[in-house]
Copies of this chain bind each other. A is one copy, B any other.
């Protein structure tokens, strides 16, 4: 267990040292979300209408951009070989890296969401549910992303293939996430959607570390 937390701590430390990872993901999120009002025009009612969708898509895309960080660097400098050879089971090793990714790349997005939501003219009820939905649903993003990252890790310029593999699988999260927020805004029950998101997270938590570990075994061959 000690090795497990050690690995998480190392990954967080690397993320902090390597050009302040937090601020960058964050800023990408902010830029991607603010591009929309620019593209769509500043009419408040339309903005409020598309707000939840824009925020969720922004989160998806920012998360996507950070996925290759999960394994690529370790692969390139040979650390992955060593991590695979360690006595920590590969599935747990993968899980540790997924947790580190979630903490460094996804959690900051959740924290900044309220500010962006206000700027998109979202009602207060919606904002809290938005954060809740992100909290419950976003682990899926890191988990599924890790499988994609594992599959493409050996490839030069796997980035775009990665998006192609991962984005379609993100769609259910997007649909239920937006549905939850819109239900909350329309003062309808949002419980079922949140539960579905939680279910997705749990399912992914079981399957994805195993699949990612299998993918990594291929990559180091």
Instruction: List the interface of chain A (C-beta within 8 A of B).
Output: 18-19, 21, 24-25, 27-28, 31-32, 35-36, 38-41, 46, 49-50, 52-54, 56-57, 60-61, 65-66, 68-69, 73, 155-161, 163-164, 167-168, 170-171, 174-175, 178, 182
Contact = CB atoms under 8 A, between A and B. Distances in A.
A155 B19 contact: yes
18 contacts: A18-B156, A19-B161, A24-B160, A24-B161, A28-B163, A28-B167, A31-B164, A32-B61, A38-B174, A39-B54, A39-B174, A39-B178, A41-B53, A46-B50, A50-B50, A68-B159, A73-B156, A73-B157
A21 B175 contact: no
A51 to B, nearest CB: 9
Contact of A25 (B57, B160, B170): B160
Contact of A27 (B19, B25, B69, B164): B164
A156 to B, nearest CB: 6
A25 B52 CA distance: 26
Given A27-B160, A31-B167, A39-B52, 17 more contacts: A18-B157, A19-B158, A19-B161, A21-B157, A24-B164, A31-B164, A31-B168, A32-B61, A35-B171, A35-B174, A38-B175, A39-B54, A39-B56, A40-B53, A41-B178, A65-B159, A73-B157
Contact of A53 (B28, B31, B39, B66): B39
Contacts of A60: 35
Contacts of A49: 40, 46
A32 B62 CA distance: 12
Contact of A31 (B24, B56, B163): B163
